[in-house]
Structure 1
Amino acid sequence: MFYLNMNALLAMCGMVFVLMATRKWPQNKRILMLLFNLGFLFLWSGKLFAFYIAYTLLNYIFFVYLCRTPVWRKFAFALFILANIGAVILFHMLGKQGSASLLADGVMTLGIMFNVLKIIDALYFAYFFGKDGQAKVIDYVNYILFVPTFTSGPILKFRDFMADVKVPYKVDASQFEAGVKRIILGLFKKVVVVVWMTDLFNKVMDQELHTHQSLFLMIWFYLMIYMDFSGYSDIAVGFGRLMGITIPENFKKPFLSPTLTQFWRNWHATLGDWFRDHIFIFFSRKTPSKLMTAGLSIFIMTLMGLWHGFSWLFLIYGVYHGVIIAIENLLGKTTVIRRKVSKPYFYMRCLLTQALVVAAIIINLNNPDVVLRVYKGLFHLPF
């Protein structure tokens, strides 16, 4: 959301140049980043600033408790996670009702969807590493409020961010060039390509839908989502790296995924990684059976669907993907190694995976009437 606002873009560019100008100061990345993150949120919205100061500091107290206290650690760990999940549910409900209250702020709602995942990751780190997982409040606040990834990710891992902030700011000419190019590519996708694609999508939707038009809309919408989310990720990666923070890649050639399991490792990769890391970790002491893995796949994908929105459509979307991934697990077909199979077989599997994705992608519109109209159009022959 921030990247479509010119003032926000200029502010982030300004931050990059300030960091470059003060690169000889060892603490510039930590202290100046804190001032920037807080100042940016304050100028964007006083409500946003006030909420996140309270929310972040409260969770830092939770974090410190898990690091230092041996008393009631398991209970506290579960309680803190449930409290944050409850916050997400509350924001979803308020956003759906269109409430004008403080808690229904649009940017706030988007922010908490991603930041709660970071908070839970930090709680995991504190719980499993104890005193060795402690972090200073300045670094914790920067981790949660890091502006380039605030509303739409990619999702930063706590341990990776903590490692980055300890390294002095160093961005050479080649890294600067690469970062700028990445930002320009992302802006081109979002401001030019997505706008044009959206306009064409709406024009076709206004027509009477037949088989070929519904197929076109489903494929077109899939490509449009890719351009939109990957464009945002490109900008976030570019600005993050210019600020001295390594932002993980969110899209890793998803169109060349020969299985749905591999697709979700390549499409919105940081989200998929987060759910796998924080669900499967409870089963890491022993190798799960195929049946257990299949069940976990359905559970995780259902959670991912509901994370996108509390509706029957997203529930169906998550279960759909979960069932297919479960079948891949049961059949031992979760991975196809490109160099070990023939090219025709590999690309056939990629095409099959893309067809499975396209079959349900229109659900992301989250509008029952529109989704049903597109699916009905598939069976409406033009003759």
Structure 2
Amino acid sequence: MFYMNMNAIVAMAGMIAVLMLTRKWANNKRILMIVFSLFFLLFFSKKLCVFYTVYTLINYGGFVYLCRTAVWRKATFIFAIAANVAGVFLGVRLFVMDIFHHPLFDTIIYLGLIYNVLKVIDAYYFAYFFGKEGEVPAIDYGNYILFIPTFTSGPILKFRDFMADTKQPYRVDSALFEASVKRIILGMFKKMVVVTWMTGIFNEVLKQDLHTHQSLFLMVWFYAIIYFDFSGYSDIAIGFGRLMGYTVPENFKKPLLSPSMTQFWRNWHATLGDFFRDHIFMFFSRKAPSRWVASMLSVVIMVSIGIWHGFTWLYLFYGLYHGIILAVENLLKLTTVNKKKVSKTYFYMRCLITQALVTFSVIIYSSNYETVFRIYKGLFHFA
């Protein structure tokens, strides 16, 4: 959302200029970034700023307590995560679905909250496993939660990596500056030009009576729209994040060249897949799991990712669909393909099959029952 607002773009560019001018100040990015984040949110929405200030302080208190306490550590850990998931994550989804209403809340309050809850959970994991050694100052915790470049839609930052960057002085050389600016321009071109043009064509075709070839076209076309839209956002976030002195992880790693669904989810929205894999496997399977256990956990992870996108039957089936495919790949030992050890024909055939499986389900991201069912129904309209 921020990247579609020119005032927000100018504000972030101005912050980068200030960081560059104060680079000799050892703590410039730690102190200036928290000030920038709070004022940015304040000017965007006073209610949003107040909400996130309170939310961050409450969770920082829980984070510090978990780092220091030796009593009921696991219970505290589980309660902290459950409170965030139940009180915030579920609240957001129910509010968006018009099931939950309260005069104190409105849509703007929930801006970015789905992603920020995941960051809060990652910080609690760090506190639980590292104890006192994992404690960090409030200013660094605040910068982690309120980091503007990734605030609304990721990529999802890992607590450990962000804190490592915090300890490093602000360094942006000419090569990094050039690469980051080019990345931002590319991302904006994807979102403002490519996605706008492609969405117009999608809507025009959707108005027609759908036959097999039109439904197939819409499924492939919508897949491309989703890719350019989200990868474009990630490009912009990565570019601005690195110009502010923090390494924002890659979110798309050539997903079209994934020879299995397992590798696809390591390359498509990679930080989200990594989050669920790391935290669910870490909690439920400390040791190397058996193939059957890993397969069942794959289903749990994908259902979680599906529900994370929305509490609807469509997203539930989406998660089950991908989870079952991942489980089958695991059981049949088809999770990876070494490109150097197989023929090009076999490798690219596997990539094609993977993309076909993804294309069949990606239309669910439209979140519109009527659109999804019309397109699936059109597949069987051969005349």
Report the TM-score when normalising by structure 1.
Answer: 0.98
In structure 2, C-alpha distance between the alignment counterparts of 1:244 and 1:34, rounded to whole Å: 13
**Unaligned runs of at least 5 residues, structure 2:** none
In structure 1, C-alpha distance between the alignment counterparts of 2:82 and 2:284, rounded to whole Å: 20
Quote the residue 1:269 is aligned against.
270
How do 1:25-174 and structure 2 match up within 5 A? 25-86=25-86, 87-97=88-98, 99=101, 101-106=103-108, 108-174=109-175
RMSD of aligned alpha carbons: 1.0
Task: Please list the CA deviations of residues 163-212 of structure 1 after superposition, one character each: whole Å capped at 9, or x if unmatched.
Answer: 10111101011110011000000000000000001101000001111111
SS at 2:112's partner residue?
Answer: helix
In structure 2, C-alpha distance between the alignment counterparts of 1:175 and 1:217, rounded to whole Å: 38
In structure 1, C-alpha distance between the alignment counterparts of 2:330 and 2:305, rounded to whole Å: 18
Shift of 1:100: 7.2
- The residue identity in structure 2 corresponding to 1:62 is G
Q: Is the 8 A contact 1:47 1:102 kept in 2?
A: no
SS at 1:208's partner residue?
Answer: coil
- The residue identity in structure 2 corresponding to 1:53 is T
In structure 1, C-alpha distance between the alignment counterparts of 2:311 and 2:153, rounded to whole Å: 18
SS at 2:210's partner residue?
Answer: coil
- 97-106 or 230-239, which deviates more: 97-106
Is 1:189 aligned with 2:190?
Answer: yes
Quote the residue 1:176 is aligned against.
177
In structure 1, C-alpha distance between the alignment counterparts of 2:6 and 2:335, rounded to whole Å: 43
Quote the residue 1:306 is aligned against.
307
Shift of 1:284: 4.5
Task: Please list the CA deviations of residues 332-374 of structure 1 after superposition, one character each: whole Å capped at 9, or x if unmatched.
Answer: 1111111111100000000000000001111111111111000
In structure 2, C-alpha distance between the alignment counterparts of 1:198 and 1:42, rounded to whole Å: 33
Q: Is the 8 A contact 1:91 1:103 kept in 2?
A: no
- The residue identity in structure 2 corresponding to 1:19 is L
- 278-287 or 242-251, which deviates more: 278-287
Is 1:224 aligned with 2:225?
Answer: yes
In structure 1, C-alpha distance between the alignment counterparts of 2:70 and 2:292, rounded to whole Å: 36
- The residue identity in structure 1 corresponding to 2:29 is K
Q: Is the 8 A contact 1:91 1:104 kept in 2?
A: no
In structure 2, C-alpha distance between the alignment counterparts of 1:195 and 1:26, rounded to whole Å: 43
Quote the residue 2:246 is aligned against.
245
- The residue identity in structure 2 corresponding to 1:31 is I
Shift of 1:282: 2.5
Task: Please list the CA deviations of residues 91-132 of structure 1 after superposition, one character each: whole Å capped at 9, or x if unmatched.
Answer: 1101111857443324x3241100000000000000000000
In structure 2, C-alpha distance between the alignment counterparts of 1:26 and 1:93, rounded to whole Å: 44
Quote the residue 2:6 is aligned against.
6
How do 1:307-346 and structure 2 match up within 5 A? 307-346=308-347
SS at 2:193's partner residue?
Answer: helix
In structure 1, C-alpha distance between the alignment counterparts of 2:373 and 2:21, rounded to whole Å: 55
- 92-101 or 111-120, which deviates more: 92-101
In structure 1, C-alpha distance between the alignment counterparts of 2:103 and 2:354, rounded to whole Å: 43
In structure 1, C-alpha distance between the alignment counterparts of 2:73 and 2:58, rounded to whole Å: 17
Quote the residue 1:235 is aligned against.
236
- The residue identity in structure 1 corresponding to 2:106 is A
- The residue identity in structure 1 corresponding to 2:43 is L
In structure 1, C-alpha distance between the alignment counterparts of 2:343 and 2:123, rounded to whole Å: 43
In structure 1, C-alpha distance between the alignment counterparts of 2:279 and 2:288, rounded to whole Å: 16
In structure 1, C-alpha distance between the alignment counterparts of 2:85 and 2:357, rounded to whole Å: 30
In structure 2, C-alpha distance between the alignment counterparts of 1:282 and 1:155, rounded to whole Å: 19
SS at 1:52's partner residue?
Answer: helix
In structure 1, C-alpha distance between the alignment counterparts of 2:332 and 2:266, rounded to whole Å: 19
In structure 1, C-alpha distance between the alignment counterparts of 2:174 and 2:138, rounded to whole Å: 32
SS at 1:103's partner residue?
Answer: coil
SS at 1:250's partner residue?
Answer: coil
How do 1:192-211 and structure 2 match up within 5 A? 192-211=193-212
In structure 2, C-alpha distance between the alignment counterparts of 1:306 and 1:103, rounded to whole Å: 22
SS at 1:151's partner residue?
Answer: coil
- The residue identity in structure 2 corresponding to 1:280 is F
Runs of 4+ aligned residues of structure 1 deviating over 6 Å after TM superposition are none
In structure 2, C-alpha distance between the alignment counterparts of 1:33 and 1:313, rounded to whole Å: 39
In structure 2, C-alpha distance between the alignment counterparts of 1:265 and 1:92, rounded to whole Å: 26
Quote the residue 2:259 is aligned against.
258
How do 1:261-300 and structure 2 match up within 5 A? 261-300=262-301
How do 1:350-369 and structure 2 match up within 5 A? 350-369=351-370
- The residue identity in structure 1 corresponding to 2:302 is M
- The residue identity in structure 2 corresponding to 1:41 is L
- The residue identity in structure 2 corresponding to 1:20 is M
SS at 2:105's partner residue?
Answer: helix
